[in-house]
Amino acid sequence: MWSFFGTTAGFSLVAAYRLPESQEIYETLGWGLVVSTAVRMLRLVPVTLWRCSRMVKRWPWSQFDRHLDVPLAEIRREYGIQLVG
């Protein structure tokens, strides 16, 4: 949810869940664990959507290199990212 609504990736993320690598992860974890985790995480959807809507701009999914030498506090201010807790 955070990656979908908080970054510039958009619908391209949905395709990644169908990649063979993703399927392998699901099988390693077990489908029961994947489903139960997804159900438990449903309560976090409203919080995630609210936090994403408060961001000043979306995090660049593929053009993040310019941020590698920038202090984390400055990045959080630029994008309006608030820590949980």
Q: For the whole model, what pTM was predicted?
A: 0.62
Residue 74: give the domain boundaries. Answer: 2-79
Cβ-based neighbours of 44, under 8 Å, separated by 6 or more: 1
pLDDT of residue 75: 93
Cα–Cα separations (whole angstroms), residue 77 to 13, 59, 62, 70, 73:
25, 12, 20, 11, 6
84 within domain boundaries: no
64 within domain boundaries: yes
pLDDT of residue 63: 82
41 within domain boundaries: yes
| 7 strand-pairing partners | 59
| Tens place of pLDDT per residue across the chain (85 aa) | 778 888 888 888 888 878 888 888 888 888 888 888 888 888 888 888 898 899 999 988 888 888 999 999 999 999 998 877 6
What is the tally of structural domains in the chain? 1
| Angle, vertex CA 3, rays to CA 17 and CA 28, nearest 5 | 35
